[in-house]
Amino acid sequence: MHFQILLATSNAGKLRDFTGAAAPFGITIASIPNFSSLPQVVEDGATFEENARKKAESYSLAVSGELVLADDSGLEIDALGGAPGVYSARYAADEPHTAEGNTDDEANNARVLRELKSVLEQKRTARFICVLAVARDGQTVHTFRGAAEGVILDTPKGKNGFGYDPLFYFPQIGKSFAELSAEEKAQYSHRGAAFRSFLAWFRTT
């Protein structure tokens, strides 16, 4: 049996990640029809879960009766007290907590590298976090969390992926996330882990 899951995003990188995670299970990931014309949700939550729920609930109103998935995800670096965290996509802004739009991936990466310049390799531990919320008709039905533990490199590696993937080294496989295909990344990533939890729930509903 083939299923299509609607994802509340226009982010090509996220669509690629979730498509890679869903492919082995015969599931198609699609963006909500006319997503770009829907009113944009302000991601002002204090946690990944708050933002994910807010997006899922709001965008599910556009597709009556359908399950809609939304994720909020980011990078937590121990040496930076958990930053950039929920501000991962706009970390290069002068004041990330008040920035309305996302900042460029390269600029975000550059700020992280600047801030970690004097930090020793063994202190550069970090994790990617993903919280998925699934909603129908404006109500969150369930949330799922995934994490991936790694180390921040001092120079980017790899051309795949997006965001902080070129800096995120995964010791288990000896590669950065940007050196992996979408299918490989799904095996190890925070999004892959959250999506597998969603699938386990989805199959029992």
Catalytic residue among 17, 72, 105, 165: 72
Rounded to whole angstroms, the Cα distance separating 88 from 108 reads 8
72 catalytically annotated: yes
Burial of 60-96, coded b for 16+ CB within 10 Å and e otherwise, reads bebbeeebbbbbbbbbbbebbeebbbbbbbbbbbeeb
What spatial distance separates the first Cα and last Cα of the chain, rounded to whole Å? 15
Contacts of 91 (CB under 8 A, 6+ apart): 83, 84, 103, 108, 111, 112
Rounded to whole angstroms, the Cα distance separating 81 from 162 reads 23
DSSP symbol at 42: P
Catalytic site residues? Answer: 72
